[in-house]
Each structure stands twice: as C-alpha cells, then as structure tokens.
A = this chain, B = another copy of it.
C-alpha cells in the first residue's frame, strides 16, 4: 500500500528565495511560533543554512530503501525530509547517497534518525540535520511512502512545504503561507535592526520594550541587598 506521489507542486522559486534570506528563529517567530522540529535535530557541521521545498520520505526502522526512491523525486533546490515510522538512530545515509543528492542539486537532508560518513559529508559540504551520527547500517526490505505528509521530529511536513534549517534547528513553512511568512520575517528583521542599534548603545530592553510599568503592576519589587534579612 506504499505510494510515491509524483509531480508535487512546489512553491515558486521567488517564494523560496525570499524565505532563504532568514534564519530559523526569525521564520519561526514570523509564522506565529509553529512548525519547529524537535531540539535534538542538529546540523552535523556548523555553520550551515539551507532553504527549499520538502520532498518527504517515510522510512521503516533500520531500513533506508525508500531514500533511494525519494532521490528520484528530488529536483534542484529541494530539501529531502525523512523520518522512520518508529524512533531509530541507525545510519540511514552516507556519502554515496549524498553524492547522488548533490548531483541532483538537492540542498540538504533533514532526517529524524542517524547518518554516517560524517567526516566525508563535512568535507563535501553537504549539509545534514539529524538525530544522531552513527555508523550502524540499514537494510533495504520494507516499503514506505514518498511525498505524503509525515511527522518529522514532532512537526508535520507536507511535500512542497518550505524547510529552513540552520544552527538553531529546523522549521517548516506551509507552502501556501510561504509568501506571507517571508514578508512577516522581513518586517521582523527590520524591526530587530532598529532594536539592535539601541542595544548596542547600551539601552535596556526594559526601556526599549517599555516593560517597567507592567512589571511593577505584576508586583515586581526592588530590594537593596543590605535590606534583605535571611
């Protein structure tokens, strides 16, 4: 009953391009703090930053067969997003598959499992976010789905959604919201630039964000250490 969905609609290159200017934290904020993958998803080398439409791949535990099927569905600029159907840290992916994805113009791999050949992947500058680095091999026996919606590291990823990954982790943006999120992210960055200048000259967040009154209203009190008794 496994299927491969072909000819998946992707967001326009302009949408992806727009989003690719931003980091994960900014995009996550700009879309209302959703779509973040779990904190255990870490880049195998740093710094790293990618952005592209997702090709999704569901895997059996300890079985990387469907990655080979997924590779064929990848187009230049895509990001491969893979997850096993139950937790597994085996090394599903190494330098040969990276060579194949690189040859197809794929921007990187997000996998809720392990990868291996970490030193070679680092030399090749093929970026990977994974749950583990582990030499354990996998088999090729069990089918899974390609380009169906999957839950990867706690987040729902649908094929064609935009994935952004950097040193802070991985976030997914729904394809239909890509343009709005890019716009919101740009606004957020412009706002942060102003704040950064204020912080650089020594202004306090208490004043920049006008927090003092609300803190006092909630009951915050200042006590000199010499007036404390304990």
Contacts and interface: CB of A to CB of B under 8 A. Distances in A.
A7 B139 contact: no
Given A72-B206, A118-B167, A119-B46, A33 B97 contact: no
Contact of A204 (B38, B72, B195): B72
A18 interface: no
A2 interface: yes
A103 interface: yes
Interface core residue of A42, A89, A114 (most chain B CB under 10 Å):
A89
A221 B3 contact: yes
A85 B136 contact: yes
Interface in A94-115: 94-97, 99-100, 103-104, 114
A86 B154 CA distance: 10
Nearest to A28: B135
B103 A202 contact: yes
A105 to B, nearest CB: 10
Contact of A69 (B7, B33, B86, B206): B206
A134 B100 contact: no
A192 B28 CA distance: 39
B68 A209 contact: yes
Interface of A: 1-9, 23-25, 28-29, 32-34, 36, 38-39, 42, 46-47, 49, 60-63, 65, 67-69, 71-72, 85-91, 94-97, 99-100, 103-104, 114, 116-120, 122, 132-137, 139-143, 147, 149, 151, 154-156, 159, 166-169, 171, 192, 195-196, 199-206, 209, 211, 215, 218-226, 228
